[in-house]
A = this chain, B = another copy of it.
Amino acid sequence: MVRKPTSKETARKPNMREAILAAAEELFATNGFNAVSVRDIAQAAGANPGSVTYHFKTKDGLLLEIYRRHCGPMNLRRSELLAAARRVRDLQDRLEAVVRAYVVPAFTSGSDLAGGGARFTRLRAVMSAEGNEVARKIIAQTFDDTSHAFIDAIHESLPHIPRTDIVWRSHFLLGALYYSLVTPDRVSRLSRGEADGGDAASAIEQLVQATVASFQAPPLDHAAPARRRPVVSSKA
């Protein structure tokens, strides 16, 4: 009954619905789910609280729609980049390409929606931290496939590393990624202004290089920890 594409393809007035989604996304990503009221969202969107109920029925429904809106495009983008990365010949280069395929869509727009994917990724980080039920369900059934695909791709590039280690390290990657989006100011602060934590390009490059190196670390499955070989040459 909501469907009414009679003449002009889409809804004639997508403004309000979109504005509410954008406002909610921003507020949730910044303050968490529970700290933001429906009235806050409506006010930020220049809408009436009743409009939120009308379009999304409940507050949970609003969050759900935000996820639905982003998950598809973002995972699609990742799939494309991953497929391209898999075709890289050199194993070393391929590893970096795979990691980049995972990281880049999280920072840049996973879709054509304004604001880019960084906001949505920050939202995911916050929902994850809050243990939000709605988010947890969607995440597990939407992102686990993608995660497995990436883990497999990384494992291909590093066959001698146990899959378990790769899982841990890719988990660290996601944590680092989330945290970089949650508190970018901390980077600026600790670097005494020499780095800008909010600069996506820097964050991506730093994250990719650090992560590639972490994946390349020797496995630690063995009971007796093998003597690690020097990874950085002393040529300075």
Residues of A within 8 A of B (CB): 30-35, 92, 125-126, 128-131, 140, 144, 147-148, 151, 158-160, 163-165, 167-180, 182-183, 186-187, 189-191, 194-195, 197, 202-203, 205-207, 209-214, 216-218, 220, 228-233, 236
CB-defined A-B contacts under 8 Å, sample of 10: A32-B129, A32-B131, A92-B228, A147-B190, A159-B236, A160-B232, A171-B187, A176-B176, A205-B220, A206-B220
Residues of B within 8 A of A144 (CB): 189-190
Structural contact, B207 and A217, CB atoms closer than 8 A: no
Measured CB to CB, the nearest residue on chain B to A179 is B175
Beyond A164-B194, A209-B217, whether A92 also contacts B230 by CB under 8 A is yes
Q: Which residues of B contact A30 (CB under 8 A)?
A: 131
Q: Once the chains are docked, how many angstroms separate the CA of A9 from the CA of B157? A: 62
Report the minimum CB–CB distance from A175 to chain B (whole Å): 3
Q: Is the CB of B171 within 8 A of A186?
A: yes
User: A130's contact among B31, B172, B173, by CB below 8 Å, is which?
Assistant: B31
B191→A163 contact, CB < 8 A: yes
| 3 A-B pairs with least C-beta separation | A175-B179, A213-B217, A129-B129
Which of B128, B160, B187 contacts A182, CB < 8 Å?
B128
Closest to A235 in B: B160
How many identical subunits does the complex contain?
A: 2
Q: Nearest residue in B to A126 (C-beta to C-beta)?
A: B129
B179→A172 contact, CB < 8 A: yes
A32 — nearest CB in chain B belongs to which residue? Answer: B130
Query: Least Cβ distance of A156 to chain B in Å?
Result: 13
A169 B206 Cβ-Cβ under 8 A: yes
B167 touches A172 (CB 8 A): no
Q: Which residues of chain B are within 8 angstroms of A33 by Cβ–Cβ distance? A: 35
Q: Which of A148, A164, A165 counts the most chain B CB atoms within 10 A?
A: A164
Question: A98: shortest Cβ distance to chain B, in Å?
Answer: 15
In the complex with contacts A180-B172, A187-B167, A191-B164, A212-B217 CB distance below 8 A: yes
A68 to chain B, nearest CB (A): 21
**Alpha-carbon distance between A159 and B167 when the two chains are bound, in angstroms:** 31
